[in-house]
Structures are given as C-alpha cells and as structure tokens.
Amino acid sequence: MLSIEDKILARIKSHGRGWAMTNSDFGDLAKTATIDWSLYRLKDKKVIRPLLRGIYDYPRFSELLQEEMAPDMEMVARAIARKFQWNILISGNAALNYLGLSTQVPMRLTYFSDGPTRQYGIGSRTIEFKHISLKEARFANIKSEIIVQALRELGAEHITAEIINKIRNFIPASERNKILKDTQFTTDWIHDKIKLICSEGN
C-alpha cells in the first residue's frame, strides 16, 4: 500500500514540473498535520521547493544551465488563491507576459481578487492581488481566462496575424473546442478572435 507521502508525490508528478501547491491540494488524502509533515519531508529531500509559507513548487530544471529554473509565477498565484479560497482574475499585462506577447519581464504581476489586497515577494519578483468585486464570467479553463484578458488588453485593432499564431501555439489542439465553448459568452469581438485562433492552423 502506498504511503501518504507516496500518494502526494504521485499527485505532484501528475501535474508536472512547474506546478505550485499548497496543503489544501491534498486534503482528500489525509489530515492536515499528516499532509504538512509529508510536504516537509519532500522539501527536505529537495523534491519540492519552498516559496512562501505553505506554498511549494515542483521546480523545473534547466538541462542547459544544470540548475533549477525560476518559479512559474502564474502557478504560484493560483496556488496562493487556492490556499485562501479566493477567486482571481489575471490582469491584462500579466496575461500578455504569460503568452510571450510582451517583451518585458515585469517585476510585479497583478491579479484581481475577491480576497484582500495583498502582495507576495518571490525572489526579485512580486505577485500582487488587488481586491475588486469580480463580475467577470468564471471560466472552466485557466487558458480561456488568460487568452481573454490578453485580447482585451491589446484591443481589437492591435491583434495581428502574428499575435493570432502565437496564441494558437499556446493552445493544444485537443483543448480548442473546450476553449471555444468556455468563451462563448465573452464580448463578440473577443470571441470572434478566439474562433479564428482555434479554427485555423490545425
């Protein structure tokens, strides 16, 4: 029989390198104290990396540099939101950065949240949560949210064929129909762009 630690490790590996986590991600496996101890042991074995109090990641590794890569800040933001049970919405600038549509690497990534306004430092970068009343539609797929926020930030008149191709490359072909359905109630011009992204270049 697998130990709790083994079950936690299996779940971590199923999400892949770069995934950020908190103990609530394993709440169905054991009591909180047991989960915390298992995460501590995995941290001690350098399987996972501590980022903030109660937040870890399964670090990506650069074969070229032979060292662990910086945390995926989008993953970290989602883990923080899960920890505190906040609903969050990525900002337009953060979405552009995540999709590689911005040449700048922002030191501060902003998310809108129905929780309190807070910020967290991860190395030299900061994740900021700004409290607002979230009236945006909730998307089933995080990729849908990122794409919609990026398109909204750019504006219809600034979306070129090159941008369409870059966003298309972000979406696995197997997920395109799901994203089309997920975004069907967004602003008309945004959904028209998403249909273009998802229907060509297969």
Specify the CATH number for the domain of residue 41. Answer: 1.10.10.10
Domain span holding position 153: 142-199
Is 137 among the domain residues?
no
The tens place of each residue's pLDDT in the chain, 202 residues long, gives 889 999 999 999 999 999 999 999 999 999 999 999 999 999 999 999 999 999 999 999 999 988 999 999 999 999 999 999 999 999 999 999 999 998 777 889 999 999 999 999 999 999 999 998 876 657 888 999 999 999 999 999 999 999 999 999 999 999 999 999 999 999 999 999 999 999 865 5
Question: Reduced to 3 states, what is the DSSP secondary structure of residue 163?
Answer: helix
Is 56 among the domain residues?
yes
> Does 153 share its domain with 195?
yes
Alpha helices in 55-187 (DSSP H): 73-84, 92-98, 142-154, 161-170, 176-182
Where among 18, 49, 68 does a domain terminate? 68
Is 47 among the domain residues?
yes
> Does 20 share its domain with 46?
yes
> Does 58 share its domain with 92?
no
Is 136 among the domain residues?
no
> Does 100 share its domain with 155?
no
Cα dist. 37→8, 10, 34, 109 in Å? 11, 16, 5, 31
Number of domains into which the chain is organized? 3
